[in-house]
Amino acid sequence: MKIFYSSDAMFEANFNELLARGKMDIEGVSSIVSTLLKEIQSGGNSALKAQIARFDRWEPKADDELLVDTQEMEEAYNRIDPTLRDALHLAYDRIEAYHQKLMPKTWMEAEANGTILGQKVTAVDRAGLYIPGGKAAYPSSLLMNVIPAQVAGVEEIVICTPAPDNELNELLLAACHLCKVSKVYRVGGASAIGAMAYGTETIPKVDVITGPGNIFVATAKKLVYGEVNIDMIAGPSEIGILADQSARADYLAIDLLSQAEHDEMASSILITTDSTLATQVSERVASYLGTLSREEIARKSIEERGAIIVTETMDEAIALMNEIAPEHLEVVTQDPMALLDSIKHAGAIFLGEQTPEPIGDYVAGPNHTLPTGGTAKFYSPLSVENFLKKSSIISMSKEGMREIGESCALIANTEGLTAHEESVRIRLRNL
């Protein structure tokens, strides 16, 4: 891995390159995706099936072939190894328990004059969840998207996942059965986003679309935003690590590679105050690469988007990491909890050497759908909030109207909105 020193004259230029790590050429695929979406919007199932034949190499003959049979899910669940089944149940229970703690409540509060103010929290009617396939199948992403929607109280959950050559990953099917979902459709990419955003004869239109995907999925979500709500525009996966001299090089090296093996576009960045550790980690990364099942992907990611930065102080290291605002941030120092208040921007924070990022991907409980490319400065992890909407509650008493009505009418008059003003004054005159 490349090692940079913050004291070098060229460091600022090199660091700015790292900050651009998550930029995707959405403009480059926008016209393609826009055409696909328009086809779905106007052609429904006919266009959808044609796109599946084009991109996934099989053509549904009938509309009902798009829907995965629930019996197929149950059979897959029964076939998987019992130990793996237990692991899925453990993950489900922990994810559910965590997200239940995030659930906001409807509330109302009466003022002394009898006026009531509050907030009503309700789930969306229908949620669309995109679960990636392609290079790898991710049952964990199914759990991380379905469970918050269920905890939020969404009545109808629609799932789309690609089925190249009309084949689905058995573990993904098993996870669908575990989650008790029934509307799972064999469609991926921008086609799936269009189908859920506009609806077809088979796939219902949803209110919100969540879930990660490639650049075509991300672009489609951006283009349909407004027609439906979305969680975020997710880019390639990434990890940042803050470490001091107490950290183990072998731990840090394999943790950096845990993101690099996702995607050639993934980025892995270590910032440390120890130059010796930096060298050791770089050497360990090189030695681990040859042992990985996805070596080629990880090697390209590390060579093109991996970096180790050596700073003079931990304060400087934290400042740089806050600028990066990584999707995943590991803090591997003598006292990681002491640094927590200084960390402002990260999708998920992993404290201590016994907390590798993969534990958050699967079984810890918090969601692994996280903001990428620096968007942790303004986005939050996927949660129940993405499947909820809030309505303000206002109930004015007569005394309350006497107390604040005149101020309301005055502001309305100042804005030149006479009907607004009179709407209040007519009530004041009749009190």
Active site residues: 327-328
Cβ–Cβ < 8 Å for 136, 237: no
What phi and psi values does residue 411 have, to the nearest 5 degrees? -65, -40
Angle between helices 139-152 and 170-178 (to 10 degrees): 20
Query: 426 is written with which tokens?
Result: 């007519």
Residue 234 tokens, joined: 């997710």
What letter would DSSP give residue 268? Answer: E
| Residue 231: count of CB within 10 angstroms of its CB | 26
Closest CA to 294 of 265, 257, 269, 268: 257
Measure the CA–CA gap between 395 and 134, rounded to whole angstroms. 52
- Establish how many alpha carbons lie within 13 A of residue 421's alpha carbon, considering only the half-sphere containing its beta carbon: 10
DSSP codes joined into one string, 374-398: TGGGT-----GGGGEEEEEEEE--H
Residues counted in the chain:
431
Q: Where do the H-state alpha helices sit in 153-188?
A: 170-178
Going by C-beta distance under 8 Å and a sequence separation of 6 or more, which residues neighbour residue 415?
Answer: none
The enclosing H or E element of 158 equals strand 156-161
The two structure tokens encoding residue 89: 């149940």
Helix ranges, 57-125 (H)? 70-79, 82-101
Among 64, 7, 306, CA closest to 184: 64
